[in-house]
Structure 1
Amino acid sequence: MTIELQPPVDDPIVVDDLERLSFRVDRRAYTDDDVAAQEMAKIFDRCWLYLGHESEVPEPGSYVSRDVGGRPVVMSRGSDGQVRVFANSCTHRGALICSQPAGQAKSFRCPYHDWTFSNQGDLVGVPIPDGYGPGFRKADFGLAQHRSDSYRGFVFVTFDPEQPRTLTEYLAGATEYLDLIDDQSEVGMEVIQGAQLHGAQANWKLMMENSVDIYHFRALHKRYVSYMQSLGSVPPRRRGGFGRSLGLGHGANELPPAAARPLAHWTPMFPEEVRPSIEATAARFVERFGAEHAERITGTNRALLIFPNLLIIDAIAITIRKIDPIGADRMAITSVALAPKDEDPEIRELRKSHYLTFLGPAGFATPDDIEIVESCQRGYGNRTVRYSDLSRGMNKEIPETTDELPAREFWRQWDRLMHGDDGHFEAAHQAELEGAEQL
């Protein structure tokens, strides 16, 4: 008879040993229901969470409704032009006040008792009002408004009324990468209409790791590598580029030069007839920013992780992934494409094609990624191997993109918050955190 011994309750989940250059994560972090419940309280109820993009609510009256951090919310641009985030819950008896994913509305009506709210959150209509006493005031029953803010069009929300950091403070070094994205247009960026909603039977943190993991590209995405080569393009090299810590759990991988960018970097993957347009765009960027910075904006691929739930893959196309946990072994994924508002129609069609071909839920890469994270989740069910290893690159002053620095920074912040830490850096990690700053 075999008796399975459970680890002590106070046993660390993240084992970060700088002396031995070892970084391990106990696999119960991916499988334990109690850990999943603690994450909702200590991370998703406290952090700034990515919700959407301002371009999704372009005009007064436009709105989107979606879940974030396990809570249904509505992002609405009021008739006054201001973007607000409301709890998608009637203040009377709690029903959803908005059941459509997106639309245009001057007001939101609860289907239960017809309580009606303006698109600025005020309660404006109550049937049979004489049923309430003289103390009843509509002003006391407006929609609950969550604290929200945006940076370069990216909208975040926090459910913590005592969140001490402003959004810009929270984003820390990630603002540099959001700038690189938003600077791709002089008139602004926009989400291309049509979101892909899917999921995976795996823990949400596996997708956060996977999306900043370049080490797996040639091994897991062999079909796409062959496809790129058949078109005369060069897939990402096994070596090169660099990984960066951006503070507070955020991280990025950057790969120069890009294999293909419909924005301003032509390769044989694209039709010859669009080459003049792409090269003309590249010349405009050089004029605006200078050759060096223009090359960084238009000629590099990058994967950005903003803790805890946002991934932006700025490569063949710009893909935004919002990840939401649904228990220990399931996640929901919202995926959209971002593009310059002033993009030439032929380039826009090319961008959409490449987004769907590689990063769409039925493309070359995403099904591979979903299958592999679900495979990991099933493998954890064996329980014989206790730890996953994320030590790659700890022996380097400047980690490469095939190393695991962004994932380690994600886990360090996860561990700090799960232990009630306020998220400040520990001095012991400064050498690894600052290595890429020399670039």
Structure 2
Amino acid sequence: MGYRDDLVVDDRRNGIFRVHRSLMTSPEVYDRERRALFDRCWLYVGHESEIPRPGDFVRRGVGGRPLIFLRDSGGTVRMHFNTCTHRGATLCREDAGNTRVFQCFYHAWSFDTTGRLVVTPGADGYGPGFRKEAHNLVAPARFDNYRGLWFVNYDAEAVDLRAYLAGAIEYLDLVLDQAAEGMRIVKGAHRYSVKANWKLMLENSIDGYHAPTVHATYVDFVKDTGGGQRKDALGAGNGVDLGNGHAVVESPAAWGRPIAYWEPFFGEEARDEIAATLARLVDRHGAERGRRMADTFRNLMIFPNLIINDVAAITVRRIEPTAPDRHALEAWALAPAEEAEGSAALQRRLDSFLTFLGPGGFASPDDVEALESCQQGFAAVREARWSDISRGMTRESNSQDELQIRTFWRSYAALMDGSGFPERVTGVESPGEASGSPAPAGSAVIR
């Protein structure tokens, strides 16, 4: 059975788009996703600011594989699979730190930060054919970065990262250029698991349609503190297909954000500072681009599982599948390097992040409840088989439509069927337009 047409129905003539719910429940689908998506696509690992000094490391599980993301003793960023080449034990057992040597706890084989095997206890027990250099740590096939955001690809034949990112680069720059001295990950992370299929979190993170209902409590909080949603925000903006599966939903800032849109709950003392931030952006980037950075929300999806929320604060959110009906989520706050630890600007940013996006905030617990409720409903998949994602197919997209979610599913279905990324959608998904188009020149092709 093909994924396109059979399991993802894209009927542009009639404005119907639906997804079979077995894609959220089937162990066979989950296994196929590992091979078709997570073994082939570029996957986010971390930001260079997490490993600023030689010897700094963090450990990550990415695409079902254990990795060490580090800066070696010479200052070069590297990645090693986190498995000892002797018997396979996990080599690095701490989440983060600084070291000159990774020593396996099992038999004490030891490796330097470049991955070179340097110590084998009882070396005289090995025969003449044993060579240390044959047991150096193994690196992934490809790893590269875009402006400090580091990605890994397990396919040696993958297209280069910049080509893969395609139109997402414009929106990454809108985030990264908000800093004068570069962006950094603020220390600490949010880690939690959700009893729902990973694709539900992906959908939800770029879905504007649910905000007025699921996040009504936050809307009431803003109103109760003397603020309120901008009249031009609801439904304004649009979703955009950025090519190669990536998409964004962008709209006028609906609620306060520390960079430019003041709300009373930020405190009266923040009003002038927020205005000054906007003025600096306009001075550096011009009025149109500076105001776009500061005064719009954007939820950016890098296919298949990275979300950058530039909303109440800037959040880097990585979604890791762990079972057909469960996923893990790891999220970090991204902030300009010039916002020093302890500064009022950084504290305001983090307060806004925690209030809305934190695991105990107004938004995230409601989102988790919604997704887990969907997963429970999928127990009736034999009888209630389809989810509908048709909103906005027959008009120019707005921020409450679902073009950006359809962008994910079109690429998902094409790659699961073994073909390249589908043609990028521009303008209205008009009646009569053919679906399942081949990848155009310049788009990444994954086989």
Alignment TM-score, normalising by the size of structure 2? 0.92
How far is the alpha carbon of 1:336 from its aligned partner? 1.1
Q: 2:89 matched to 1:91?
A: no
- Equivalences for 1:7-406 in 2 at 5 Å? 12-146=6-140, 147-163=142-158, 165-235=159-229, 237-257=233-253, 259-343=255-339, 345-383=343-381, 384-396=383-395, 398-406=396-404
* Deviations 1:119-174, CA, capped at 9 Å, x for gaps: 111111111111112222221111111121111211110111221x1101111111
* Deviations 1:260-299, CA, capped at 9 Å, x for gaps: 2212332323111122222222211111111111001111
* Deviations 1:191-210, CA, capped at 9 Å, x for gaps: 11111110111000000000
Measure the CA separation in 2 of the matches of 1:358 and 1:9. Answer: 36
* Deviations 1:190-231, CA, capped at 9 Å, x for gaps: 111111110111000000000000100010111101001112
Bigger mean CA offset, 191-200 vs 253-262: 253-262
Sort the Cα spacing of 1:365 and 1:279 in 2 relative to 1 into closer, same or farther, 3 A. Answer: same
Amino acid at match of 2:149: F
Amino acid at match of 1:109: Q
How far is the alpha carbon of 1:81 from its aligned partner? 1.1
- Number of equivalent positions: 424
* Deviations 1:303-360, CA, capped at 9 Å, x for gaps: 0111111011101111111001111100000011111110151011111111111100
Amino acid at match of 1:388: S
Is this contact kept in 2: 1:49–1:309, CA < 8 A?
yes
Measure the CA separation in 1 of the matches of 2:34 and 2:296. Answer: 35
Is this contact kept in 2: 1:38–1:418, CA < 8 A?
yes
Amino acid at match of 1:284: R
Amino acid at match of 2:329: I
Is this contact kept in 1: 2:196–2:326, CA < 8 A?
yes
Unaligned runs of 5+ in 1: 1-6, 435-439
Q: Helix, strand or coil for the counterpart of 1:326?
A: strand
Is this contact kept in 1: 2:3–2:416, CA < 8 A?
no
Q: Helix, strand or coil for the counterpart of 1:58?
A: coil
Measure the CA separation in 2 of the matches of 1:388 and 1:258. Answer: 28
Sort the Cα spacing of 1:8 and 1:66 in 2 relative to 1 into closer, same or farther, 3 A. Answer: closer
Alignment TM-score, normalising by the size of structure 1? 0.93
Is this contact kept in 2: 1:152–1:178, CA < 8 A?
no
Measure the CA separation in 2 of the matches of 1:285 and 1:295. Answer: 7
Is this contact kept in 2: 1:244–1:433, CA < 8 A?
no
Is this contact kept in 1: 2:251–2:296, CA < 8 A?
yes
Is this contact kept in 2: 1:60–1:78, CA < 8 A?
yes
Measure the CA separation in 2 of the matches of 1:231 and 1:168. Answer: 44
How far is the alpha carbon of 1:423 from its aligned partner? 1.8
Unaligned runs of 5+ in 2: 431-447
Aligned twin of 1:437: none
Is this contact kept in 2: 1:64–1:103, CA < 8 A?
yes
Measure the CA separation in 1 of the matches of 2:102 and 2:53. Answer: 16
Sort the Cα spacing of 1:9 and 1:388 in 2 relative to 1 into closer, same or farther, 3 A. Answer: closer
Sort the Cα spacing of 1:240 and 1:349 in 2 relative to 1 into closer, same or farther, 3 A. Answer: same
Identity of aligned residues (%): 47
Q: Helix, strand or coil for the counterpart of 1:338?
A: strand
Measure the CA separation in 2 of the matches of 1:208 and 1:425. Answer: 21
Q: 2:406 matched to 1:411?
A: no
Amino acid at match of 1:46: R
Is this contact kept in 1: 2:3–2:417, CA < 8 A?
no
Aligned twin of 2:437: none
